[in-house]
Structure 1
Amino acid sequence: MAEMNTSSESGRRRGGQRSKKLSTRVDMTPMVDLGFLLITFFMLTTTLSKPKALPLIMPADGDATPVPESKSLTLLVENDNTVSWYEGLFVDAENKTALNRSNFSVQSGIGNVIRDKQRRVAKAYGDPEQLIVMIKVAEGGSYRNMVDALDEMKINRVARYAVVDITDEEAKMLTE
Structure 2
Amino acid sequence: MAAIDQPTPNQRSTQAKAGKKRRVRTHRFHLDMTPMVDLAFLLLTFFMLTTAFAKPRVMQLTMPVPDPLHPLDVPLSKAMTVVLGQNHRVYYYFGLHAPGDPSVALPTLYTTDFGPKGIRQALLTRQHKGDFMVLIKPSPQAKYQDMVDILDEMNITGQSKYAITELGAADRQLLPASERQ
Query: Structure 2-normalised TM-score?
Result: 0.60
CA–CA separation in structure 2 for the residues paired with 1:120 and 1:52: 31
SS for the counterpart of 1:154 is helix
**Larger fraction in strand:** 1
CA–CA separation in structure 1 for the residues paired with 2:112 and 2:54: 36
**Larger fraction in helix:** 1
Pick from 85, 89, 94 the counterpart of residue 92 of structure 2: 85
Within 5 Å, give how 1:1-176 maps onto structure 2. 52-63=57-68, 64-91=71-98, 95-106=105-116, 108-121=117-130, 130-176=131-177
Letter paired with 2:73? P
| Closer, same or farther: CA 96–159 of 1 in aligned 2, 3 Å | same
Give 5+ residue unaligned stretches, structure 1: 1-47, 122-129
SS for the counterpart of 1:91 is coil
Give 5+ residue unaligned stretches, structure 2: 1-52
Aligned to 1:36: none
Letter paired with 2:72? T
| Closer, same or farther: CA 141–152 of 1 in aligned 2, 3 Å | same
Aligned to 1:37: none
CA–CA separation in structure 1 for the residues paired with 2:62 and 2:118: 25
SS for the counterpart of 2:98 is helix
Paired-residue identity, %: 29
Query: Structure 1-normalised TM-score?
Result: 0.61
The two structures, once aligned, show a CA RMSD in angstroms of 2.3
CA–CA separation in structure 1 for the residues paired with 2:120 and 2:57: 24
CA–CA separation in structure 2 for the residues paired with 1:50 and 1:88: 39
| Closer, same or farther: CA 163–117 of 1 in aligned 2, 3 Å | same
Tell me which stretches of 4 or more aligned residues in structure 1 moved more than 6 Å. Answer: none
Structure 1 residue 69 displacement after superposition: 1.2
